[in-house]
Amino acid sequence: MNYAEELEIMGKRAKKASLALSILSCRVKNRALEAMGAALEEHTEEILKANEIDLQNGRDAGMSESLLDRLKLTPERVQDIAKGLIGVASLTDPVGRIESTFHRPNGLVIEKIKVPIGVIGIIYEARPNVTADAAGLCLKSGNASILRGGREALSSSKAIVKVLYDAGVESGLPEYFMQVIPWTDREAVNIMLKLNKYIHLIIPRGGEGLIEAVMRESTIPVIKNYKGVCHVYVDKEADLDLAVDIVVNSKCQRPSVCNSAEGVIVHADIAKEFIPKVYAALNDANCEVRADEAFRQLAPEATAIQQSDRGEEFLDYIIAGTVVESLDEAIDYINEYSSGHSESIVSTNKESCRRFQMEIDSAAVYSNSSTRFTDGAEFGMGAEIGISTDKLHARGPMGLEELTTYKYIINGTGQLKG
């Protein structure tokens, strides 16, 4: 297989499609999204059959239960994906919006307007729902998409793409508005990452190894959806019962996702009362606690923490426990070991909450809430294409706004440069 030649063709097709998409009316895009959502529900059975192939391959390969959960589709999950696509149709279209207007002394009128980025390449692992989320958001924001799912979700992704593509083209979208790379060979990905003539942005979604490989190989700008090493800090002035609930929810509500907590940090002043409570609650949820010596003095059954556990994305029923002497120490700890995703403080002291929120260098910083809300739908964006841990040009949940850029439209009456 000549990957370079095939990917060159895909790139050309995507660029041509992106130009057509960029001027497509919102009405046509919305009609297509609604048709694509309906088609997913209509073809649920064949999508689930394809997903079962991926699940069986995952089991045979020894994939963990938490990763199998990420990979698994059910009728309810397919329905949720379909609803997500239809929900995107109801979102405000940013394309063409005038951001600002400048009237220059020489009579030039300069408008700054929102436009699509162009062609977006999305590389992801065992998350077949990303296929639909990415296609829907790219379409609504006027971008063509080239998708490369991991081998773990290949059958599911191909089935979903076929359904979406057929429904989209039938609804008036340009050919090749979305494409999927059908090969799992890493060489194909490396070639894709050099197609800067056609692809304008790469968004990788997956584990640390995937992100680092993409960053190393790509000649195209990359927005990282890096690992989610999130923390909950329980302050000395916390409501302890609330803190237990927040820690357990942040960790155990769905541990396989990037906004689940991987660390609980406890102020020493309330450790004696709080740690036995939170340890018992986590233990009841079948969650292993790997803790430092101060934490284990109050929860002797906890596992001794290793240095490698700090900053680790477990994506499982495991959490790292640490005791600190002050708010300052908690902030320093999180800024050292966090991936810059989501953190939370539990405290009744508003000043402490504000300090924590302003001094923590993460994309989403909560007070008195679970970290599990870092999500495009929860933030009112509809579906999301990922959670950026970068600072340029997007940070946090990436919705329609983050998939656009801008250009300047300048209107004159014959002005000449002197």
Report the CATH number that the domain containing residue 362 is assigned in CATH: 3.40.309.10
Instruction: Tell me the C-alpha distance between 252 and 259, whole Å.
Output: 11
Same domain, 407 and 348: no
Same domain, 239 and 292: yes
Whole domain around residue 343: which residue ranges? Answer: 230-373
What 3-state DSSP class applies to 289?
A: strand
Instruction: Tell me the C-alpha distance between 407 and 396, whole Å.
Output: 23
Cα-only R_g, the chain: 23
Same domain, 10 and 116: yes
Query: Quick check: 376 and 364 in contact, CB under 8 A?
Result: no
| 166-224 pLDDT per residue, tens | 999 999 999 999 999 999 899 999 999 999 999 999 999 877 888 999 999 999 999 98
Residue 21 lies inside a defined structural domain of this protein: yes
Same domain, 403 and 347: no
Instruction: Tell me the C-alpha distance between 153 and 54, whole Å.
Output: 6
Same domain, 192 and 102: yes
Residue 385 lies inside a defined structural domain of this protein: no
Query: What does the block give as tokens for 350?
Result: 């508003």
Q: What's the number of domains the chain is made of?
A: 2
CA distances from 111 to 105, 108, 403, 411 (A): 15, 10, 20, 8
Same domain, 212 and 113: yes
Query: Quick check: 179 and 135 in contact, CB under 8 A?
Result: no
Same domain, 206 and 58: yes
Query: What does the block give as tokens for 136?
Result: 């829907």
CB atoms within 10 A of CB 197: 12
The amino acid present at 100, given as its one-letter code, is: S
**Alpha helices for 205-320 (secondary structure H):** 208-217, 240-252, 268-284, 293-296
How many residues in total does the chain contain?
418
Instruction: Print pLDDT tens along the chain (418 aa).
Output: 899 999 999 999 999 999 999 999 999 999 999 999 999 999 999 999 999 999 999 999 999 887 898 899 999 999 999 998 999 999 999 999 999 999 999 999 999 999 999 999 999 887 888 899 899 999 999 999 999 988 888 999 999 999 999 999 999 999 999 999 999 899 999 999 999 999 999 999 877 888 999 999 999 999 988 889 999 999 999 999 999 999 999 999 999 899 999 999 999 999 999 999 999 999 999 999 999 999 999 999 999 999 999 999 999 999 999 999 999 999 999 999 999 999 999 999 999 999 999 999 999 999 999 999 999 889 988 778 889 999 988 999 999 999 999 999 999 999 999 8
Picking from 208, 352, 207, 203, the residue whose alpha carbon sits closest to that of residue 267 is 352
The amino acid present at 101, given as its one-letter code, is: T
Residues 6+ positions from 230 with CB-CB distance below 8 Å:
250, 258, 259, 260, 261, 262, 263, 338, 339, 341, 342, 343, 344, 371, 374
* SS3 labels along 23-75: CCCHHHHHHHHHHHHHHHHHCHHHHHHHHHHHHHHHHHCCCCHHHHHHHCCCH
Same domain, 154 and 245: no
Beta-strand pair 342-346/261-267: unpaired
Instruction: Tell me the C-alpha distance between 150 and 383, whole Å.
Output: 21
Whichever domain contains 25, its CATH number is: 3.40.605.10
CB atoms within 10 A of CB 98: 11
Same domain, 25 and 105: yes
Residue 330 lies inside a defined structural domain of this protein: yes
The amino acid present at 87, given as its one-letter code, is: G
Residue 210 lies inside a defined structural domain of this protein: yes
pLDDT at 288: 98
Picking from 337, 342, 339, the residue whose alpha carbon sits closest to that of residue 321 is 337
What are the strands of the beta sheet with 119-124, ordered from one edge? 178-180, 144-149, 119-124, 201-205
Residue 138 lies inside a defined structural domain of this protein: yes
Residue 262 lies inside a defined structural domain of this protein: yes
Same domain, 238 and 196: no
Number of alpha helices (DSSP H) and beta strands (DSSP E) in the chain:
14, 16
What are the strands of the beta sheet with 404-411, ordered from one edge? 98-103, 109-116, 404-411
Same domain, 106 and 207: yes
Query: Quick check: 290 and 296 in contact, CB under 8 A?
Result: no
What 3-state DSSP class applies to 124?
A: strand
Same domain, 35 and 159: yes
One-character DSSP codes across 138-186? HHHTT-EEEEEE-GGGHHHHHHHHHHHHHHHHHTTPPTTSEEE-----H
Whether the pTM exceeds 0.75: the reply is: yes
